[in-house]
Structure 1
Amino acid sequence: MVDAGKQLINEVISEKLDMEKLGIGPNCTTITVADLGCSIGPNTFYAIQIIIEAIKLKHITKSSESLNLEFQVYFNDNISNDFNMLFRSLPPSREYYVVGVPNSFYERLFPKSSIHLMYSSASLHWLSGVPKEVKDPNSLAWNEERIYCATEEVTKAYSCQFEKDMKSFLRTRAEELVSGGLMMLFTVVRQKDTAHSQTSSGKFYDILGSCLIKMANRGLISKEKVNSFNLPIYNASTEELKELIDEVNYFTIERMEEYSLGSIKMARDTQVVISHIRAAFEGLIRNHFGDEVIEELFEDYTKAYAENLNTFQESSTKHNSTFAIILKRI
């Protein structure tokens, strides 16, 4: 995602970042940047360096006065993130000061009007949690023997959770950004009116769910454990995102672009897919089912994925895209 958005980041900072309105001048030479959902690197460091270089270039080419700019960077992710690994991986020759901010980005993270630029990549499709209706056997949205958006009722529950989370995200960020501050969001989206089960990511998750069911049928894990396990992920459409941004009414939309993820090519490479799925979900699976199931589960997943490879090349499969949206605080 970072490579796909590099040109956009450079263009937006050059054209849309108003240093004077942000209060950057002789009396304030520190620019604050936040990466929301930073994980453990190295992508976060690469993105931050692109942002800093773009700001420095803008200052050099467009400023009439020379300022010794300094950069304070906040790396945010959930408390469970391995911040020790993140800090051990920091570039030794970095041009910025570092602070770790462990907490959910669906809550307040920073003082009011304290951040000049926010960035988030491949994070906003993660929900604050699985919708409670999906885990309730008495609910129409109970997701029995599935781990993702299997029915219309389940999808509606996920959609409502995403709407609640996204509104919270936008409102809290509006408090923390200075007036004129920018927010650069890169997230995975699906095509409008496409069922999640027909997207490439939905099919990845369905295969994973089927492997868990087979393990339950072999008595390796309990069916109750499978029924209580759901992925806290929702790939919104671009239309859903735009509607929510317009509704909260704290930002202007400065730029929007959609990029192909190359899902067809990636889907043909079994090991690439397995590594992505494992990196994303191993922690969740381990916490829910225990350490002992991991290796066998991913062995089963590798075989099942290879057997179902052709389904990703069917005309009915809709491949996901990266959606970049640049917002400015009103």
Structure 2
Amino acid sequence: MELSEAYPMTGGDGLHSYAKNSDFQRKAIDVAKQLISKAIAQGLDVGDFNSTKSLGIADLGCSVGPNTFTAVDNIIEAVKSKYESQIPEFHVFFNDHVSNDFNLLFTSLPQDKQYYAAGVPGSFYDHVFPDASLHIVHSSSSLHWLSGVPKEVTNNNSPAFNKGRITYANSGDEVIRAFKAQNRKDMDRFLHARALEVVPGGLVILVFPYNPDGTHPSRIPINMSFGLIGSALMDLAGKGIVGEDKVDSFNMPVYVMHRHEVEAAVERNGCFSVVSMEILPKVRENFSSNDSVVDEIVGRARSATEGIIKPHFGEDILDELFDVFRKKLAEDFVPSAKTVDQEHLFLALKRKP
């Protein structure tokens, strides 16, 4: 089993926490609600609950809430609608890395929840549940995070050395190929683990940032944002605040897939049939001013990346780094735009017998 690195979202409920800066991710869950209901109505095929009595649901990459609770409620509502007179008990497993803030997650569980809750620590690229123990697996806004950065992009003797940059998106072909290969390995691991854990007729439901075919990676909003963080780090290196070699040895473990890459991974695995694969309506955010656009993106980016940046560069640079990042956003990214759009792909897979 390959080891997976941990990239937890910022815990707690403070100013820079994921709990306070994840409205965008919640909107993706809201947009997917109807498709989840349809996939469960048409695809879930696990027999009756006379003998089983309970239905196992896992949310992978759950983070700290509250988004995970909304996703689980949407799934339970859809299952109740499908079975009507024969409602099972629901056992929900919240999964994320060991370093996730599970304390906040469980202290903020809804008081009126309709399920038994449990936490399952571990990378979703690994086999983290017993075989054939889950009926529905869900994950939203998580699958673009890789299990780790490709080793060759931080090796200065490699043709894929990503000098002066922290993403693949605005780099050369060798770097892009390295991230693409890492994503392929990770998707194979992810689907292999789910094939073991999900019962025949059970569902895997995924929502994740998506790269429309033909769009260069550098034009994907999430990559553009991370690219500007890299540029801000290089500015700090130019001032001697961080070493340039520290920037060269740091990359964001993120890759945004094309549809054909998703289809190829499902075909390679062979254990699932596609119930639904659709491009979600764009998650559209309307802002009253450019300043509010910048504030939203800075908050979102910091809550997602602080836990990766701090161990590598130290905590002291965070405020200055994100101040520089804010200025770059205002100057380069949203000088006149009032909307920020990101494409998401919805994928529902059914475990074959």
Aligned partners of 1:324 and 1:7: how far apart in 2? Answer: 11
How big is the shift at 1:17?
1.5
- Letter of the aligned partner of 1:8 in structure 2? L
Using a 3 Å threshold, how does the CA distance of structure 1 residues 287 and 30 change in structure 2: closer, same or farther? same
Which moved further from structure 2: 47-56 or 265-274?
265-274
Output the CA distance in 2 between the equivalents of 1:95 and 1:172: 27
On the 8 A contact 1:190/1:319 being kept in 2, the answer is no
Q: Any conservation in 1 of the 2:136–2:203 contact (CA below 8 Å)? A: yes
**Secondary structure of the structure 1 residue equivalent to 2:123:** coil
Aligned to 2:343: 321
Counterpart of 2:76 in structure 1 is 52
Give the SS at the match of 2:280. strand
For residues 199 and 87 of structure 2, what CA distance do their matches in structure 1 show?
A: 21
Alignment of 1:54-203 (within 5 A): 54-60=78-84, 66-67=85-86, 69-149=88-168, 150-203=171-224
In 2: Cα distance, 1:104 partner to 1:28 partner: 28
Structure 1 residues 144 and 263, CA gap change in structure 2 (3 angstroms): farther
1:8 equivalenced with 2:57 (yes/no): no
- Match among 305, 325, 329 for residue 301 of structure 1: 325
**In structure 2, how many angstroms separate the alpha carbons of the residues matched to 1:39 and 1:164?**
23
The change in CA–CA distance for 1:140 and 1:224 in structure 2 (over 3 A counts) is same
Partner letter of residue 128 of structure 1?
S
CA distance in 2, matches of 1:191, 1:311: 24
Alpha-carbon displacement from aligned partner over 1:137-179 (angstroms, at most 9, x marks no partner): 0000000000001111101000000000000100110011000
Alpha-carbon distance between aligned partners in 2 of 1:310 and 1:74, rounded to the nearest angstrom: 39
Displacement of 1:243 in angstroms is 1.1
- After alignment, is 127-136 or 239-248 more displaced? 239-248
How far off is 1:262 after superposition? 4.0
In the alignment, is the contact (CA less than 8 A) between 1:6 and 1:50 conserved in 2?
yes
| Deviation at residue 16 of structure 1 after TM alignment | 1.6
| 1:25 is the counterpart of 2:25 | no
Q: Which amino acid aligns with 2:157?
A: N
Instruction: Find the residue that maps to 1:308 and give its secondary structure.
Output: helix
Does structure 2 conserve the Cα–Cα contact (< 8 Å) formed by 1:260 and 1:320? no
Given residue 142 of structure 1, which amino acid in structure 2 is its aligned partner? F
Alignment partner for residue 64 of structure 2, among 40, 64, 85?
40
Give me the whole-angstrom Cα distance separating, in 1, the residues matched to 2:136 and 2:153. 36
Structure 2 equivalent of residue 248 of structure 1: 269
Alignment partner, residue 230 of structure 2: 209
**For the residues of structure 1 that align with 2:336 and 2:52, how far apart are their CA atoms?**
53
Query: Secondary structure of 1:323's partner?
Result: strand
The answer on whether the counterparts of 1:29 and 1:67 sit within 8 Å (CA) in structure 2 is no
Cα distance, 1:198 vs. partner?
2.5
The 1:74–1:216 alpha-carbon spacing in structure 2 relative to 1, beyond 3 Å, is same
Give the Cα–Cα distance (whole angstroms) in 2 for the partners of residues 34 and 167 of structure 1: 19
* Residue in structure 2 matching 1:233, options 233, 254, 274: 254
| Distance apart, 1:119 and its partner CA | 0.3
The equivalent residue for 2:19 is none
After superposition, the Cα gap between the structure-2 partners of 1:84 and 1:98, relative to the gap in structure 1 and judged at 3 Å, is same
Deviates more, 1:237-246 or 1:252-261: 252-261
Tell me the CA shift for residue 309 of structure 1.
2.7
Q: CA deviation at 1:274?
A: 0.8
After superposition, the CA RMSD in angstroms is: 1.8
Question: How far apart in 1 are the matches of 2:145 and 2:335?
Answer: 25
Residues 33-54 of structure 1: per-residue CA shift (max 9 Å, x gap): 0001101110100110111111
**1:142 match: secondary structure:** coil
Whether contact under 8 Å (1:191, 1:320) holds in the other structure is: no
Alpha-carbon distance change, 183 to 312 in structure 1, aligned in 2, over 3 angstroms: farther
Match runs of 1:254-293 below 5 Å = 254-262=275-283, 265=286, 268=290, 269-293=293-317
Cα contact 2:31–2:283 (8 A) shared by 1: no
**Partner in structure 2 of residue 63 of structure 1:** none
Instruction: Give the SS at the match of 1:57.
Output: helix
Query: Unaligned 5+ residue runs, structure 1?
Result: 61-65
